Amino acid sequence: MQKLLRFLKPYTRYIVLGPFFKLLEAVFELIVPVVMARIIDIGIANRDTRYIWHMSIVLVILGICGLGFALTCQYFASKCAFAYGTDLRSALFRHINTLSRTELDRLGTSTLINRITNDVTSSQQGVNMAIRLGTRAPFLVIGAIVMTLLIDWQLSLIFLIIAPILGVVLYCVLTRTIPMYTRNQQKLDVIARHTGESLDGVRVIRAFSKQQQETERFAQECADLEKSMIAAGRISAVLNPATFLIMNLGIATVLWFGGLQIDAGRLSQGDLTAFTNYMTQILLAGVQLANLIQILTKAQASSLRVADVLETHSTMQGGSAQVTDSREAICFDHVSFTYAGAPHPALENISFTLQKGQTLGIIGGTGSGKSTLAQLIMRGYDATEGTIRVFGQDVKSFDLDALNRAIGYVPQKALLFTGTIEENLRWADENAPKENLRRALEIAQASDFVDKLQYGMQTRLVQGGRNLSGGQKQRLTIARALSGSPEMLVLDDSMSALDYATDAALREQLHTRCQGMTKVVISQRATSLRDADLILVMEDGKCVGQGTHEELLKTCEVYHEIYATQNT
Amino acid sequence: MNKTIRRIMRYANPYRKYLLLTVVLSFIGVSLSLLVPIFIGKAVDLAVPLTVPLSTNTRIDLAAILQVVIELSVVVVVSALFQWLQGLCINRLTFGTVKDLRSDLEAKLQTMPISYIDGNARGDLIARVVPDIEILSDGLLQGFAQLFSGLVTIVGTLAFMLTINIKIALLVVVLTPLSFVVAAQITKASHNAFVWQSELRGELSGLTEELVGGVNVVKAFAYEDRAIGRFEEINRKLGAAGQKATFFSSMSNPSTRFVNGLIYAAVGTFGALGAIGAMPWIGVMSVGNLASFLAYANQYTKPFNEISGVVTELQNALACAGRLFALIEAEPQSPEPADAAALTDVRGSITARDVSFSYTPDRKLIEHLELDIKPGQKVAIVGPTGCGKTTFINLLMRFYDVTGGSISVDGRDIREVTRNSLRGSFGMVLQDTILISGTIRDNIRMGKPDATDEEIIAAAKAAHAHSFIKRLPDRYDTVIGEDGGSLSQGQKQLLCISRIMLCLPPMLILDEATSSIDTRTELKIQDAFTTLMKGRTSFIVAHRLSTIRDADIILVMNNGSIIEQGRHEELLAKNGFYARLYNSQFAD
C-alpha cells in the first residue's frame, strides 16, 4: 500500500485522530482489569461493600467514555477510508484517460474496469479496518505489556518472548498469501472478461448451440478459481489457531512463573488474575490483528494492482501548440509504423500532402492499414519512422486536447453512450448552439429519423445505443463529430451500414455545407471516394497508388481492379 | 433476508459434509478452548498462600499448579488443531458454494431470453458474476466462521457459568438481549444507506464500463474532462453514501462492546458482593471462581462482538446475494415442449403466417407478415436502415419469439422444434463480428468441433481468410485477444465467414456479412457464397443492390413491414419503393 500513501496524505488528521481516540478507548479498556483487581484485592479482602459499588460505577463510566471514543474513531475511520477511496478512484479514472492507446491496448479494458470498481473498494476497506483495528490491537498489546511491566517486570518478560514468535508466524503467512491473492484477482479478471464476451456474443453462441460448452468452460474456470482460493485460504487458516496456541501457551507459562513469584512473595493473587486477564486481552487483540492482517493482505494485493496502473505512464506526451489556420492540412513524410510487439510494420514508407479543405480518400483491402493511417493523423499512435505534420505543424507539437478538438472522428464501430441524443451530440462541444446540432443532424442524414422519435433529440439511448439500428447509430456518430464544427473530419469506414442513397446524400451535404473542412474518408466503396482530391490505395501497409480517381484509373492496377469489381 | 439465507444454504447443501465437519470440529475446538478459563481459575486458586507459618519453604502448592499448567497446554494444543481443521472445512464450504453459484449464474445467462441480455446493462450483469459474488464469498467466510464457533461459545460459556453460579449466570442471560436490541436498531438504521450505496455502486460500474470501454472515443473527442466530471459526480455520491453506511453499521460493534462492558461490570460487582457474602441470595463464590466467571463473561460476549464486528460485511453480502438470486430465479426463456423434436434433413421451405412482433408493447414493429419461401430459394431483404431487417432475422433464429402468428420451417412451427436444431440449421454471419477468446482455429471450428486441420484450412481458404491467417505470428494457433484484439473489422468478418464455410448448414443468413470487407475480396467471397447457396435456402441482408439482383425473392421492408415482394425485374416494373431505392444507387 506504500505506493498509494500519497492519497492518504490529505487525511492525515483523520489518520492521527482516529487512532488517537482508539488509543484512549484502549487505555480505558486496559484500566478495567485494574479496577477489577482492586475489587478483588481491596473490596473482597476488606469486605468493603461500598468500595465494590464505587468501583462498579467507575467501570460503567469507563464503558461510557470508551463508547464515545470508539464511535469518534469509527467516524474518522469511515471518513478517511471513503475520502481516500473516492480520491483514488477518481485519480485512477483520470489516469486511465491520460494513457495512450498503446498502453490501453496492452492493459485491456476489462481489467481496468475491475481495478476501478473492485480493487479500489478492497484497498479502501483496508484503510478503514487499519484505522479501526490496526491501532486498537497493537495498542492493547503494547498497553497490556506496559501494565504487566508495572505489576511485575520479570513475569512480563514472557510477553517479550511471545511477541516475536507471533511476528514470525504473521510474516510467514503474509509473504505467502499476497502473491496468491494477486493470482486470484487475475483469475477473476479472466472470468469478468469471459462473462462480457459471452454477453456480447450471445447470438453467435446460440446460433452455434455453444451454450453447453460456454457453461462448461465457465464451470472449469470457476473450479480453477476455487482451487486457488482454497490454496490461499489453507495458509491463512493457520493464522487464527496459531495465534490462539501461542497466546495460551503464554498464559500457561505465566501461570507457572506467576506461581513461583507468589511463592517467593513477590506477587499477589489479584496481580496474577490481572496478569492472566491482560494475557487474554492480548490474545483477543492478537486474533483481531490476525483477521486485520488477512484483510490487509487482500487490500495490499488490490492496491498493488491499482498502483500498477497509476505507474503506467503514457508513452505519448502532448506539446503546447494550438491549432492555427494553415494552408497545409496533412503532410506525411516517409512514415512507417509498427504496433508494439508486432513483428511486421502496419504501415511502410507513406508520403503525401493534403491542403486545407480538400478530401483525402483511403481505400484498400481488409487489414491493409487504412485505419492505422487515420489513427496516425489524429495521433492515436506515434509514427515509428518519418514525420507527420497536421495543420502545418509537427503533430507532436500540439496540445493533445486542442488536436482532438480540431479533428472530428467517426470510429469504425458506431459507439454511442448512455444519455439523450442531444447529450451524445454535445460530446465534441458542450456549449454548441442548438443550430449546430440540428445542422450536424441534417448533414449526417439523421434529422429525419431523430424527428420521428417520440422525444426527438431528448430520446434516451440505452447502453451503446442498443435501441437503434446499425445505420442509425452510424449517422449519429457522424453528426456527433460534425457538431463540434471541427477543422478536419475523419470518417473511418463509417458509412458501411448506410444504404447507397443515404451515403450519396451525406457526401453531397458534406461537400456543399462543409467547404472549409478537411475530410479524410476511409471507404470500401470506390464510388464514395470518386470526388476526393487525393486517394491513397493501400495494400499490406504500403501505399500502392495515389492520385485522383481519374489518374488512378489509368495508373493504378489495384485501384482499377477495385473499381471494376464494384461496377459490374 | 431469511429467504436469501435459505437460498444460500441450498447452495451449501452439496458441501454439507464440510458443514457437518465444521460443526463437529468447532464444537470440539471451541469447547476445549472454553476449558482454558477453568484451568486458569484453578491455577489462581492454587496460588493462594497456604496458611502455614512463614517458616516453611513451600508456601503454595507448586506441583499442583504445574499439573494444571500441563493440562492447560495439552487442551490448548488440541483445541488449536481442531480450530485449524475447522478453518480448512469452512474454506471448502465457502469456496465450493461460491463456485457452484457462479457456474450456475453463468449457465443461467445462457438460458435467459436474448431480450433480457439486450435489456440489461452489460456492466451490471458482469458485476453480478464477479464483484457481487466476491462480496458474498467474504461474507460467507466470515459468517460461517463466526456462526458455529459463536453458537458453541455462547452455549458453552453459559453452561460453565451456570455450573459456577446460577444467579449471576442468569443475570448475564437477562442482560444479553440488550446487545441484540442495540445491534438490531443500528442495522435497521443503516440499511437504507446500504441500499443507496449498492445502487450507486451499480451506477458507477455502468458508467465506468461505458467510458473505459469507449476510452478511445472519449479521447478522440477530448471528452476526458467531462467524462471525469461525470465520473466524479457519481463517485462523490458513492463516497458519501458508503461513508454513511459504513459509519452507521460500524457503530454496532462499539455499542455491543459497551453493553458487554456493562455485563462484565455487573458480573464483577455481584460476583465480588457474593464473594464477601454481602448479598446472601447470590451464594458463595471463591476468588478463583470469580476469576474464571469473569473470563467466561468475556468469552461469552465475544461472539456478539465479533458478529457485530462483521455486520457491515454481512449486510453487504446479503444485499449482493439478493441481486444474484434475482438473476438465478429470473424467468428463463420459454421451455421447449417435452415432445420438441430435432429439426433434421432440412429441405428449407419457410412460411410465415400473420406474424406480428414488437420489442416493447407500446411500439409495434412487424405486423401481419406473410411469407412463402420454397427450398433452395435465395431471399434478399432490402430497405432503409432501421426498417426491421435484423428483427426479422431475430425471429427466424428464434432469438426472439413472435408475439402473434407463426413461422414454420419445412411445415413445422419453429416453436415445436428444439432451439439448437433450428439454429444449427442456419449458418449465420452478422454485421457485428463476434469472436470468442481462443485461437483462430477454435473460432473457425465453432460449429464443427471435430473438424480436421485440412477442413479448417479449406474453409478458411474458401472465405479468403487463409492468406491473412498465415501471416499471423502463430498462424491458426494465434490467440485472439479481448474483443478480437488487433484484427481489423474485415478480418474478423472473414473468420466468421470461415465458420460457415466449415459447417455448411442447410440454410444461410447473411446479415451485411461482407460490409467491412474490401470489394475485391468480397467479390471473391461472393463466388464462394454463390456455390454455397446452391440448393440452400438463404437470406441476405445487404445494401449493395448489385449483389442481390439475382435473388429469387426480394423482400422490401420499410417501418417493420414487408411493403413489396418479388423478383428484381417485377419490382422495377412496379416502379415503387424498390425502384426508387435502386435508382438512387444507379443515379450515383
Interatomic CA distance for residues B584 and B588, integer angstroms: 6
pLDDT of residue B7: 84
Pick from A417, A418, A390: nearest CA to A405: A390
pLDDT of residue A307: 87
What is the DSSP code (8-state) at residue A417?
Answer: -
The three cell numbers of residue A208 are 452455434
Q: Which residue has the higher pLDDT, B392 or B28?
A: B28
Q: By the CB < 8 Å criterion, does B549 face chain A?
A: no
Question: pLDDT at residue A332 above 80?
Answer: yes
Interatomic CA distance for residues B295 and A248, integer angstroms: 13
DSSP codes, A474-529: HHHHHHHHHTT--SEEEEESTTTTS-HHHHHHHHHHHHHH-TT-EEEEE-S-HHHH
The single-letter code of the amino acid at A121 is T
CB A372 within 8 A of CB A392: no
pLDDT of residue B78: 92
Question: pLDDT at residue B56 above 60?
Answer: no
Angle at A296 between CA A291 and CA A299, to 5 degrees: 135
pLDDT of residue B588: 40
Pick from B530, B104, B16, B493: nearest CA to B327: B104
**A328-337 and A347-355 as β-strands: parallel, antiparallel, unpaired?**
antiparallel
- Considering only CB atoms, B126 lies closest to which of A47, A192, A219, namely A192
Q: By the CB < 8 Å criterion, does A75 face chain B?
A: yes
What's the average model confidence in pLDDT over A469-479?
84
CA dihedral A84, A89, A91, A94 (to 10 degrees): -160
pLDDT band at B376 (very low <50, low <70, confident <90, very high): confident
The three cell numbers of residue A115 are 481495478
Interatomic CA distance for residues B167 and B160, integer angstroms: 13
What is the DSSP code (8-state) at residue A42?
Answer: I
Q: Please name the residues in contact with B581: beta carbons below 8 A apart, sequence gap of 6 or more.
A: A499, A501, B382, B383, B384, B545, B556
Residue in chain B nearest A109 by alpha carbon? B213
The three cell numbers of residue B338 are 417435452
pLDDT of residue B547: 65
What is the DSSP code (8-state) at residue B447?
Answer: G
Q: By the CB < 8 Å criterion, does A404 face chain B?
A: yes
Pick from A287, A211, A180: nearest CA to B446: A211
Tens digits of per-residue pLDDT, A547-567? Answer: 888 888 888 888 887 777 766
Percent of chain A with pLDDT over 90: 1
Interatomic CA distance for residues B294 and B165, integer angstroms: 12
B347 burial level (CB within 10 Å; 0-12, 13-18, 19+): middle
pLDDT of residue B361: 67
Tell me the shortest Cα–Cα distance from B477 to chain A, in angstroms.
16
Q: What is the pTM of this model?
A: 0.71
Interatomic CA distance for residues A467 and B359, integer angstroms: 10
Pick from A402, A428, A407, A408: nearest CA to A322: A402
Which of A:495-514 have CB within 8 Å of B?
496-502, 504
Residue B363, classed as helix, strand or coil, is strand
Question: Cα-flanking dihedrals φ and ψ of residue B356, to 5°?
Answer: -130, 155
Q: How many CB atoms lie under 10 A from the CB of residue B329?
A: 10
Q: Which residue has the higher pLDDT, A528 or B233?
A: B233
pLDDT band at B55 (very low <50, low <70, confident <90, very high): very low
The three cell numbers of residue B531 are 456455390
Give how far Cα A329 sits from Cα of A459, B204, B290, B332, Å.
37, 40, 92, 56
Most confidently predicted of A500-504, B69-73, B521-525, B562-566: B69-73
pLDDT of residue A544: 86
Tens digits of per-residue pLDDT, B32-47? Answer: 888 887 788 788 777 7
Tens digits of per-residue pLDDT, B138-192? Answer: 888 877 777 777 777 888 888 878 887 787 788 788 877 777 787 778 777 777 7
pLDDT of residue B156: 81
What's the average model confidence in pLDDT over A116-140?
82
CATH of domain B350-586: 3.40.50.300
**A393-394 and B350-357 as β-strands: parallel, antiparallel, unpaired?**
unpaired
DSSP codes, A526-539: HHHHTT-SEEEEEE
Which of B:90-149 have CB within 8 Å of A?
90-92, 95-96, 98-99, 102-103, 106-107, 109-111, 114, 117-119, 121-123, 125-127, 129-131, 134, 137, 141
B496 burial level (CB within 10 Å; 0-12, 13-18, 19+): buried
DSSP codes, B529-570: HHHHHTTSEEEEE-S-GGGGTT-SEEEEEETTEEEEEE-HHH
Most confidently predicted of A461-465, A538-542, B78-82, B560-564: B78-82
Tell me the shortest Cα–Cα distance from B552 to chain A, in angstroms.
20
- Considering only CB atoms, B122 lies closest to which of A36, A240, A463, namely A463
Tens digits of per-residue pLDDT, A55-71? Answer: 888 888 988 998 899 89
SS3 content of chain B, % helix, strand, coil (to 5): 65, 10, 25
Residue in chain A nearest B124 by alpha carbon? A196
A411-414 CB contacts, 8 Å cutoff, 24+ apart: A411/A477, A411/A492, A411/A494, A411/B216, A411/B217, A411/B220, A412/A371, A412/A492, A412/A493, A412/A494, A412/B489, A412/B516, A413/B489, A414/A465, A414/A470, A414/A473, A414/A474, A414/A476, A414/A477, A414/A494, A414/A497
Interatomic CA distance for residues A296 and A125, integer angstroms: 8
Pick from B113, B60, B151: nearest CA to B332: B113
Q: Angle, nearest 10°, between helix axes A12-38 and A136-151?
A: 40
ipTM over 0.90: no
What is the DSSP code (8-state) at residue B476?
Answer: G
Lowest-confidence pick of A151-165, A217-231, A354-368, B115-129: B115-129
Which of B:217-276 have CB within 8 Å of A?
217-224, 226-228, 231-232, 235-236, 238-240, 242-243, 246-247, 250-251, 253-255, 257-258, 261-262, 264-266, 268-269, 272-273, 275-276
pLDDT of residue B309: 65
Cross-strand pairs, B426:
B507
CATH of domain B2-50+60-328: 1.20.1560.10
Give how far Cα B67 sits from Cα of A559, B42, B212, B239, B417, Å.
100, 11, 67, 57, 79
Mean pLDDT of chain A: 82
Interatomic CA distance for residues A3 and A308, integer angstroms: 9
Lowest-confidence pick of A215-224, A293-302, B53-62, B254-263: B53-62
Mean pLDDT of chain B: 78
Tens digits of per-residue pLDDT, B418-468? Answer: 777 778 778 777 766 667 667 888 778 777 777 788 888 888 887 777 877
Tell me the shortest Cα–Cα distance from A233 to chain B, in angstroms.
6
Residue in chain B nearest A28 by alpha carbon? B261
pLDDT of residue A38: 82
Domains and CATH numbers, chain A: 2-310 (1.20.1560.10), 328-566 (3.40.50.300)
Domain residue ranges in chain B:
2-50+60-328, 350-586
Interatomic CA distance for residues B426 and B537, integer angstroms: 9
Task: Name the helix (H) or strand (E) containing A409.
Answer: strand A407-410
Q: Which residue has the higher pLDDT, A88 or A339?
A: A88
Tens digits of per-residue pLDDT, B210-254? Answer: 777 777 777 777 777 778 888 888 888 988 888 888 888 888 778
A259 burial level (CB within 10 Å; 0-12, 13-18, 19+): buried
What's the average model confidence in pLDDT over B94-123?
81
Angle at A103 between CA A98 and CA A109, to 5 degrees: 85
Q: Locate cell 476526458: which residue?
A: B224
Using CA of residue A200, residue A205, residue A211, residue A216, what is the dihedral sign?
A: negative
Asked if the domains at B2-50+60-328 and B350-586 fall in one CATH topology, the answer is no
Tens digits of per-residue pLDDT, B331-367? Answer: 777 777 777 777 777 777 888 888 888 776 666 677 7
A554 burial level (CB within 10 Å; 0-12, 13-18, 19+): exposed
Tens digits of per-residue pLDDT, A96-121? Answer: 887 877 777 777 777 788 788 878 88
Angle at B197 between CA B191 and CA B203, to 5 degrees: 145
A40:B290 CB<8 A: yes
Q: Locate cell 506539446: which residue?
A: A319
Angle at B560 between CA B554 and CA B561, to 5 degrees: 55
The single-letter code of the amino acid at A294 is Q
Q: How many CB atoms lie under 10 A from the CB of residue A146?
A: 12
Interatomic CA distance for residues B260 and B236, integer angstroms: 37
A201:B488 CB<8 A: no
Q: How many CB atoms lie under 10 A from the CB of residue B580?
A: 10
H helix intervals, B112-165: 114-119, 122-127, 133-164
pLDDT of residue B481: 64
Tell me the shortest Cα–Cα distance from B87 to chain A, in angstroms.
5
Q: Locate cell 512463573: which residue?
A: A257
Q: Which residue has the higher pLDDT, B233 or A428?
A: B233
